[in-house]
């Protein structure tokens, strides 16, 4: 028989720990405000990155394809995490787990195939659309 933890576990150690962490964090912030450097030069608030002087506005519009690519990457990367977790527990799951991961990978491949077919992964969509328009105009 395994030992069960007592039901009436006191919460005061957790509350004390949280209070100490909050007090320490507040102390560090207040101390840095008093001891930190104070200088107001003309270039203090200027952005500076990698030795390159800033030019133009930082608010540049990107094409939606960049955001779609990032979303697809995150989604498929998350699925890779699920597959790695399955690989860690493959033996205890047995054949049922194996069949389930095959279904999961099949759904992933179907989603990837669908994205490919609708052109979500094609960065040359404008050229593709133009060629279709020219073909329809000729006919």
pLDDT digits (tens, 9 = 90+) for 3-47: 676 667 789 999 999 999 999 999 999 999 888 877 777 777 676
pLDDT at residue 125 in the model: 52
- Calculate mean pLDDT across residues 89-95: 91
Q: Which CATH number do you get for residue 116?
A: 1.20.58.1610
Residue 136 inside a domain? The answer is yes
Residue 122 inside a domain? The answer is yes
Distances (CA, A) of 89 to 15, 57, 67, 98: 36, 50, 34, 10
pLDDT at residue 106 in the model: 94
pLDDT at residue 8 in the model: 77
Residue 123 inside a domain? The answer is yes
Residue 109 inside a domain? The answer is yes
Tell me which H or E stretch contains 113.
helix 90-118
pLDDT at residue 103 in the model: 95
Q: How many domains are there within the chain?
A: 1
Residue 3 inside a domain? The answer is no
């Amino acid at each position: 028989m395994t030992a069960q933890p007592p039901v009436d576990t006191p919460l005061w150690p957790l509350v004390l720990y949280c209070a100490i962490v909050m007090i320490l964090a507040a102390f560090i912030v207040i101390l840095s405000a008093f001891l930190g450097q104070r200088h107001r030069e003309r270039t203090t608030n200027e952005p500076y990155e990698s030795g390159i002087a800033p030019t133009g506005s930082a608010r540049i519009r990107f094409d939606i394809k960049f955001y779609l690519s990032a979303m697809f990457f995150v989604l498929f990367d998350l699925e890779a995490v699920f597959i790695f977790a399955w690989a860690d527990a493959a033996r205890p799951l047995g054949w049922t787990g194996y069949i389930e991961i095959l279904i999961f990978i099949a759904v992933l491949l179907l989603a990837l195939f669908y994205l490919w077919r609708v052109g979500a992964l094609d960065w040359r969509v404008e050229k593709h659309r133009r060629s279709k328009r020219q073909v329809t105009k000729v006919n």
